[in-house]
A and B are shown apart, each in its own frame.
Chain A
Amino acid sequence: MKKYIIIFLSIFQYGFATEKDSLAVHNPFLKFHQFIYELDDDCDACGCSASGGSMGFASMLNTNFIGIRYFNQSYKSTDGLYSNSPWYDENFNTIQVWTRIPVVKNLQVSALLPYHFHNRETATGTQNISGIGDVTILAMYRLYQTHKDSTILTHTFQVGGGIKIPLGKFDQANNGSVNPSYQVGTGSWDYLLATEYIIRRKQFGLNALLNYVVKTENEKKYRFGNQFNYAGTFFYLYEKNNFSIAPQIGFAGEVFGDNYQYKQRVRNTAGDIFMGKIGFEIGKDKFSFGVNTMLPIVQNLTNGNVEANYRWSINFNYSL
């Protein structure tokens, strides 16, 4: 594994060889910290619990920030009843206010407040749903961090937990035979466990994150399947004066358990998806701007009845 990382890093390094000479090497950690956190940006293959899934919770350029992020998820789905069932497009749009603030030393709290506006085609025309989504609050504790001066490689390891509050409306009527995730909220209190590991050598780094979402039964006795998200992102950080840029490339995946209704398993609701992702972040003074795109590489969602096409996001942050 280490070998592959080195190979990858050297390719990356080669690509930026011309800029490397002019790098402002002093104190790269400051900016770096802001930057890494933006990695954990997950979107669920669920419009509903879209607190970010494998897209993450924070910015890589700013440790402490408040910002706004838009993300779009494109799917197509079929009822799966017939060999000649039509496929319909589904568009999940989310505007999210997000922030990350330090509470005490080594402890930061992230909060995500989404507004969703989804639409999908049906046999009888376009159908829209919109509204405030579920709020996620996540606390991350830095368990371990190497000091930058002591070694060439620096490591940061964080663990955390959070809660998703069901502010979004769960509409049972949308829970038909098509995409069960066509919702603005799960209607349930969900719990997150997250770990994040960052390894870094000079301007290059790898951010690895794992998180697990435990979902509970909502008032309508529907329970979305638990969700496991993972992502690995290689990044490069270039800084000069007040300007910084961080290109990034990596992968992300999501694994969904079965949904349950009245404690009975709902067929064709489990699934998984593995995606490649690429993006960058640019920072100037206290402002930063980021773009990310994810494309599925392997997927098996709801027994093939839902297919993800792509996801992309754009964000503006203000560092606090």
Chain B
Amino acid sequence: MKFQLKNILAVMALAIAFTSCSDDDDNKITGEGSIKLEFDNVYGDADFAFNTAYTNSNGEVIKATKVKYIVSNIVLTKTDGSTYTVPKSDSYFIIDEGTATSTLLELPNIPAANYKSISFGIGVDQEQFNLGATGQGDFLTTAQNAGMMWSWSAGYKFVAFEGTFTSSTVTTDTSYMVHTGQTGTSYNYNTINIDFPENAMVRTTITPQVHIMADVKHIIDGTNKISLTSNNMGGMGAMIMGGANLPLITANLSNMFEVHHVHND
């Protein structure tokens, strides 16, 4: 029996020897890397697709044909609380559901660090707009080409969400257009802050990819419910491009984004 005990002890000792080896390599993180932000549009829990019927909480069935929004002023927060701000000249993007490449942003020259959260704006901030047409750089043309600009004086469209809908009283497919941007009384730029469920570990050798779920449903069916039916003026379609609805939609955007996961590959 004694002999057996010795064997058991030997096996256990081996087990401990095998499990106790680990090395810490969190010493010095230096250099720069890149980070990728993937904007994945969803509707509720479902993968979003154009021309697909979705029922909102007002009982309206919508089929979208356009989803575009401007993402700007990206700021990354490290685990120690310090931040890295992407230079303004490289920090304006248009996410377009219709153009797959536009939904994946690769940001270069990011200081190597562990990042825990991100913030970005939806739209173009007022400070930038106030620089005037010449202060916009290439982005003005980009926005015009993408149809994300009314006119210089009216400004940028921050979000464009278009398609057709039906409801109990609107029985034939009727178009809707939701465009946000500045109004006479409200600028309607919104800053989104979201945490990463796991750290994005930017290194010279690691380019993390942040998978952001953008729930399109929230635009008109979030905290504030915007009825397309009641905006269907004279049966010509629901054109929501100004007035009191825009601040409500802008507020909805705060809950539209969520980081689903981060790949550190």
Contacts and interface: CB of A to CB of B under 8 A. Distances in A.
21 contacts: A81-B40, A81-B47, A81-B213, A82-B46, A83-B44, A83-B45, A84-B46, A85-B47, A143-B4, A144-B4, A159-B7, A172-B265, A177-B263, A193-B14, A214-B15, A214-B18, A216-B21, A261-B264, A264-B201, A265-B198, A266-B198
Contacts of B22: 217
A37 to B, nearest CB: 18
A176 interface: yes
Interface in A143-199: 143-144, 159-161, 172-173, 175-177, 191, 193
Interface residues of B, number: 29
A261 to B, nearest CB: 6
B259 to A, nearest CB: 11
B169 interface: no
A141 interface: yes
B47 A141 contact: no
B7 A82 contact: no
A82 B42 contact: yes
A203 B213 CA distance: 60
Given A83-B44, A83-B45, A161 B11 contact: yes
B21 A264 contact: no
Interface residues on A, range: 20 to 34
A262 B206 contact: yes
Given A144-B4, A193-B11, 9 more contacts: A81-B213, A82-B46, A85-B47, A141-B7, A143-B8, A161-B11, A176-B265, A193-B14, A264-B264
B44 to A, nearest CB: 7
Nearest to A159: B11
A81 B260 contact: yes
Closest 5 CB pairs between A and B? A83-B45, A82-B47, A191-B18, A84-B46, A143-B4
A267 interface: yes
Contacts of B45: 82-84
Nearest to B42: A82
B31 interface: no
A217 B24 CA distance: 12
Interface string B35-77: 0000010101111000000000000000000000000000000
Nearest to A144: B4
Contacts of A143: 4, 7-8
A266 B198 CA distance: 8
A81 B212 CA distance: 11
B151 interface: no
B24 to A, nearest CB: 8
Contacts of B198: 264-267
A85 to B, nearest CB: 7
